[in-house]
Amino acid sequence: MLNFNNTEKAFAYKSNEQLKKARFLFGLMQYNGLVKLGTKLTPIALKMRLPIKGLIRKTLFEQFVGGQSLEESSAVINMLNNQHVDVILDYGVEGGEYDDPKYDHALKEFIKVIRFASTKKNAPFISVKLTGLGSTSLLEKLNLNSYDKFEFVSEHRMNQKIQSLNNAELNSWESLIKRTEKICQTADEVGVGIMIDAEETWIQDPIDYIALMMSKKFNKHKSVVYNTIQFYRHDRIEFMHASHQESLDHSYTFAVKIVRGAYMEKERDRAEKLGYLSPIHINKQRVDEDYNHAIKFILDQPNASLIVASHNEDSTYLAVERSKQSDLSNNKAELHFSQLYGMSDHLTFNLADSGLKVSKYLPFGPIEEVVPYLMRRAQENSSVAGQTNRELSLIKEECKRRGI
């Protein structure tokens, strides 16, 4: 019987010391002012080479990151395997304006991660941010920017955009596609799945376009490429239906990871500043409705693979229940759950205990490179509407149960 309140199962993998440390850390993150100050000062302190790496490593890094390298992450990967939990390996390169050698280097790293994943029993996926493989300003130039009226990233529409590029930009675009293709090809060969992360709306159209192009090429017989859909956007139900139709028209598996979305404040601020309609829903309830509608729709599709990437208990329960119903009707999409490493253990380990497919999204990399990711986790866990209260109360409950 699935019970997300079972803290004994949720934290079985943590020693008393580790649990006390988590209690301390999530307790600190309740202080909004402290988190705001910390997220401002940490990158500056690192730039000034102040000796804070040890402190970061012993706190946020240990809680949310697998290790500084793939090899170092093996201990966490193996521990999760013992608990029947998979991992989605995340080589943490983040967007920025780089040059071709840097993007080619990232490509090599991704190939290494894919090969490494294929040697592990519990690493069926890796995640990829396309802004780590090609120029963000180029993606921005190719965006359709249809904020008040939904427009699908059709070949015809994207070709119009591509024609506006100069020769150098066209070369960069083709290189980005080649790099992504190489990643998907390697993943296909060794049996690993690729999740293409969703990013900001002003660069998302070309990302969707590439994700669909790769899905069409590699998902003919199995799910290799997963696009990500962010349901905090008010146009994503239409996008989901159009993408699904595309998969039917071209006979490939509809493989998607669904999220609510990570850049809400940034999106709203930009829309206000530049004076266009915010792409984000007006309230959380609408987001939840769309997210849950997507779960129901996708689970009813026979040729689909769904990853419910969420820490929301209601959506997780809904997916479990709905999937049981689809089981009966024989019309069943493949279903997988995922949470971030260091968060919502009560979902992950209780889902795994019930025999469901579940993974932890596991970033790894040198401390200075994963700092932006760590700062996002600290902010997310400090917001009033965020997870911290729930997270902290479960940790405290388990401490009490253990008498520590």
Ligand X SMILES: Cc1cc2nc3c(=O)[nH]c(=O)nc-3n(C[C@H](O)[C@H](O)[C@H](O)COP(=O)(O)OP(=O)(O)OC[C@H]3O[C@@H](n4cnc5c(N)ncnc54)[C@H](O)[C@@H]3O)c2cc1C
Enumerate binding residues for ligand X (CB under 6 A). Answer: 197-198, 228, 230, 232, 259-264, 280-281, 283-284, 287, 309-312, 338-340, 361, 385
Query: How many residues does this entry show for the chain?
Result: 404
SS3 state at 195:
strand
* Minimum distance, C-beta of residue 238 to ligand X, in the bound complex (Å): 18
Number of H helices, E strands in the chain: 18, 8
Find where tokens 């479990």 sit.
320
Closest CB 268 distance from ligand X, rounded Å: 9
Q: Which sign, positive or negative, has the C-alpha torsion 356, 360, 361, 364?
A: negative
Between residues 3 and 383, which has the closer beta carbon with respect to ligand X?
A: 383
Q: Are 215 and 227 in contact (CB under 8 A)?
A: yes
CB of 386 to ligand X, least distance (A): 7
Q: Which is nearer to ligand X, 22 or 340 (CB)?
A: 340
Residue 231 Cβ vs ligand X, minimum distance, rounded to whole Å? 8
Cβ-based neighbour number of residue 148 at 10 Å = 9
Q: Closest approach of Cβ 287 to ligand X, in Å? A: 4
Which of residues 52 and 63 has its CB atom nearest to ligand X in the complex? Answer: 63
Which CB sits closer to ligand X, 58 or 268?
268
* Strand ranges (E), 92-191: 125-128
Give the shortest CB-399-to-ligand X separation in angstroms: 23
Q: Which is nearer to ligand X, 268 or 324 (CB)?
A: 268
Q: Is the dihedral of CA 226, 231, 232, 234 positive or negative?
A: positive
Question: Residue 121 to residues 84, 217, 287, 349, 367: CA-CA distances in angstroms?
Answer: 10, 26, 35, 17, 26
Q: How far is the CB of 309 from ligand X (least distance, A)?
A: 3
State how far the alpha carbon of 326 is from the alpha carbons of 49, 145, 299, in Å.
55, 37, 7
Give whichever of 7 and 228 is closer to ligand X, judged by the CB atom. 228
Residue nearer to ligand X on the CB measure, 48 or 384: 384
Which residues, 6+ apart, have CB-to-CB distance to 304 below 8 Å? 244, 253, 254, 255, 256, 298, 333, 334
Phi (first) and psi of residue 274, to 5 degrees: -95, -5
